[in-house]
Each structure stands twice: as C-alpha cells, then as structure tokens.
C-alpha cells in the first residue's frame, strides 16, 4: 500500500496511544546522518503527573531521553519520520507495522501479527517496587492472595497479577483525570466477589490521597458478610459491601467511577448502563462469560469457516459483544478502549473495556450508529443487553 507520508504513522500512533496498545516505536535509516545519531526509540512511561511518551535519541556513544506529553510526542515522532528517517517500526498489541518512506516522499506500510500480546507494563519490571509493595499489603494477605512474605499463595498468582495491573491502570486513569470534583468521590465495584479488586481500588485511592467512598455490590450475601468483616478488621473505613444485584442496587444519584471486573455475562452490561446513567467519569470493566450473542449468531457466508468451529464461534461472539459495548460507550460520549488487562498466561479473562467520559470531540453519532447497524445486520443479531437498556437496538 502506498500512502501520504505523515498521516499513516501519525494516525497509527495516535490510535495505539488512545487504545493503550502502544508498545514501542523505532525510527531508523536516517535520510541525512546527524553525526553519530543512529536511531530514535519511543515507548510509553507512567510518571507522577500522568502518562508520557519517552523518546530516546541513540547516538553511538550516548543517549538523550525526553519525556513528552502524548500529543507532543506523537507529533514529534511523525514529523521526524516525515523529514529525517526512512523507516519506522511500530509495535502495538494489536499489530506491528513497518513504514517505509521512499525518496519520492511516498510511504508504504506493511502490517504483521503483533510480537507483543499484552499491554506494556509502564513501570519497569517484575521487581518493580510498587508491585512488590502491593504484594506486601496486609489486605492481600488477609484475603488469602499473598503470604506474609508477599509471595502469591498457591493458585493466586493470576489474581495477584490482576490486582497489580488493575492498580497500575487505575493509577494512570486517575492521573489523567484533571477535573476531579472537590468532594468525596463515589465509586462502585459491581459483582465484587470476594472483594480482591474492591480492596485494591480503595487502597489505590487512599495511596493517592483521594477521599472516596467505595461500595462493592455482590449478589452472594455470604461473600458480602466476609468482605465487610475484612474491611472492618483492616481499617478500610470508607469501603463497604452490600448484598444484591446490580439492577436492584439503590445507587447514589451520581457515581464517579464504575468498576465491574469479570461480572458474568450481561451483568457487565447492567453495570455499564448504571455507570452511564449515573454519569461516571471512568468505566472499567473486564467482561467475561459472554453468553448472550452466541446462540443468535448467523455467520455471513464469508465467515463460514469460523462458524464450523465451536471455540472460534464463541470467540467471535465475544469480540462482537465487546465491540458493540465499546461503540455504545462511544455513542454516549465516552472514549472507549479495549486492551489486554493482564498477560494471557495469568488469566484467559484478560480483556479490559475502559470508558473515559469525553469533555469534547468524538465522532458523529450517526457514523457510530451506522457501524453498529452493519455489525448487527451482518450477524443477524436480535438482542444485546446494553443496546436494549440504552434504547439503541437497530431496526
Ligand atoms: C467472577 S466473579 C468476579 C469477582 C471480582 N469482581 C473479581 O474480579 O475478582 C463474579 C461475581 O459477580 C457476582 N455477580 C454476578 N452477577 C451479578 C449481578 N447481576 N449482581 C451482582 N453481582 C453479580 C457473582 O456472584 C460473582 O461473585
């Protein structure tokens, strides 16, 4: 494919950044050699003030590193490619792309399967002190996730990894949220289960000095009772668990953050709907047990090869469900991102669908509706819970 020089890289970088799929970029093969400059590398980093693009100029004997605001970083890299470099290799968890700029100025793009399948951890590595400190937290020991030495208990390393990644992701989103109201934040976790991630949520907010009331809603009363006991023993005064279902919960008039991790099947839709109705700034879900669309799917002829394999048809139903949910969030004025929450080896339920309320911009609603309509028609869908709750069922 041959295309105009600046846009493809600019667009691909922006898209990867927005979707939190950006892993790294290298600009190489300079057009005119600046003495000693070999290449430019870029990757995302999490700093105290929010996420930045870390740009490193690699000379033969030294490196110069700059941390730029996302938009500045993206533009700098795209401009630099357009004027000084002939090759750019972009790695994202959605796919890898090689851009080549010819002397005529034309750019060719080659796509390949992603070499990295998990969203990059923005802190340094497994020995990261923040992760270690979290593993040592008494709440994780009390809930049976870690030992007194901060090591995962047997069978709990996946849960520990989820808690660590969740706290990191939440930290970035909270840092990027510059218009927090000057009052106690209201935060809800739907389908809280044993409360591992609800405690982690309350802990992350406390760590940032944020005043917040956190409520975990859970259908199983025995789990609620045990989680409230743990909250009391551990001194989590602003955390409580209530027994009941998402739809029946007597929610406050407004919610600031809505979380629903591994809420089964359409419970994720009920939770998203509640968050939308209550005007939540952040919606964080990790959908699982997608059962609603699978029996409805009529595969278009081009996908006959998929429909013949049960597991592939199931995956197709999951993809469709989450794509529809993401579009419905976009339609309601949110920027929606779908990314891998933890590495697949830690949990098969590893997608996160996050929504951040937009203050401005966004695509025209009719364009979003049209895309929903085409998906709906292509697979002969009849009903999807979030679409139904929002009154957005295509006709
Ligand atoms: C797989 S667990 C996830 C627990 C926790 N969020 C986590 O990720 O560790 C799902 C939980 O959601 C609860 N649940 C399912 N549907 C619900 C609903 N409609 N209302 C409230 N809780 C629900 C289940 O009882 C279960 O404890």
Give the pLDDT confidence of 138-156 residue by residue, as tens digits: 999 999 999 888 888 888 9
Lowest mean pLDDT among 55-69, 86-100, 112-126: 112-126
- Region 352-380: mean pLDDT is 93
Q: Is 87 exposed, middle or buried (0-12, 13-18, 19+ CB in 10 A)?
A: middle
Give nearest CA residue, ligand 1 atom 1. 262
Domains of the chain and CATH, by start: 2-112 (no CATH), 129-389 (3.40.50.150)
pLDDT at 125: 41
Tokens of 317: 């139903």
Give nearest CA residue, ligand 1 atom 14. 191
The answer to whether residue 3 scores a pLDDT higher than 80 is: no
Give nearest CA residue, ligand 1 atom 4. 193
Would the CB of 168 count as within 6 Å of ligand 1? no
Pocket test for ligand 1, best of 222, 264, 348 (most atoms within 8 A of CB): 264
pLDDT at 394: 82
pLDDT bin (cut points 50, 70, 90) of residue 34 is low
Average pLDDT, the chain: 89
The answer to whether residue 341 scores a pLDDT higher than 60 is: yes
Greatest mean pLDDT range, 25-39, 173-187, 377-391: 377-391
Pocket test for ligand 1, best of 219, 260, 289 (most atoms within 8 A of CB): 219
Cα–Cα distance measured from residue 289 to residue 228, given in angstroms and rounded to the nearest whole number: 27
Cα–Cα distance measured from residue 249 to residue 271, given in angstroms and rounded to the nearest whole number: 11
Ligand 1: centre distance to CA 216 (Å): 10
The answer, as to whether pTM is greater than 0.85, is no
**Which tens digit of pLDDT belongs to each residue from 6-32?**
578 999 999 999 888 899 999 999 887
């Amino acid at each position: 494919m041959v295309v105009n020089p600046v846009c493809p890289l600019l667009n691909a970088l922006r898209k990867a950044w927005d979707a939190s799929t950006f892993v790294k970029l290298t600009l190489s093969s300079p057009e005119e050699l600046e003495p000693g400059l070999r290449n430019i590398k870029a990757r995302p980093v999490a700093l105290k003030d929010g996420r930045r693009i870390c740009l490193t100029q690699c000379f033969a004997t030294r490196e110069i590193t700059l941390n730029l605001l996302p938009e500045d970083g993206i533009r700098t890299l795209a401009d630099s490619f357009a004027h000084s470099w002939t090759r750019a290799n972009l790695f994202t968890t959605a796919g890898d792309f090689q851009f080549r700029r010819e002397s005529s100025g034309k750019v060719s793009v080659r796509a390949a399967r992603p070499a990295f399948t998990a969203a990059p951890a923005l802190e340094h590595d497994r020995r990261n002190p923040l992760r270690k400190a979290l593993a040592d937290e008494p709440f994780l020991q009390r809930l049976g996730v870690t030992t007194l030495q901060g090591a995962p208990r047997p069978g709990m390393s996946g849960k520990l990894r989820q808690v660590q990644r969740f706290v990191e992701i939440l930290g970035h989103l909270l840092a990027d949220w510059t218009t927090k109201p000057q009052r106690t934040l209201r935060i809800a976790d739907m389908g809280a289960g044993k409360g591992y991630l609800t405690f982690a949520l309350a802990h992350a907010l406390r760590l940032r000095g944020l005043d917040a009331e956190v409520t975990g809603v859970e259908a199983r009363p025995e789990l609620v009772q045990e989680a409230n006991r743990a909250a009391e023993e551990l001194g989590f005064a602003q955390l409580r668990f209530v027994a009941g279902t998402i739809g029946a919960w007597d929610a406050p008039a407004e919610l600031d953050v809505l979380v629903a991790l591994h809420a089964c099947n359409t419970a994720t839709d009920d939770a998203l709907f509640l968050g939308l109705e209550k005007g939540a700034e952040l919606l964080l879900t990790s959908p699982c047990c997608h059962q609603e669309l699978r029996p409805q799917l009529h595969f278009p002829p081009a996908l006959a090869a998929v429909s013949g394999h049960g597991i592939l048809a199931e995956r197709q139903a999951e993809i469709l469900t989450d794509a529809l949910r993401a579009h419905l969030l976009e339609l309601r004025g949110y920027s929606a991102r779908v990314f891998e929450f933890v590495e697949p080896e830690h949990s098969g339920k590893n997608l996160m669908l996050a929504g951040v309320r937009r203050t401005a911009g966004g695509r025209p609603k009719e364009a979003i509706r049209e895309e929903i309509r085409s998906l709906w028609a292509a697979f002969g869908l009849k009903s999807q819970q979030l679409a139904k709750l929002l009154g957005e069922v295509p006709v």
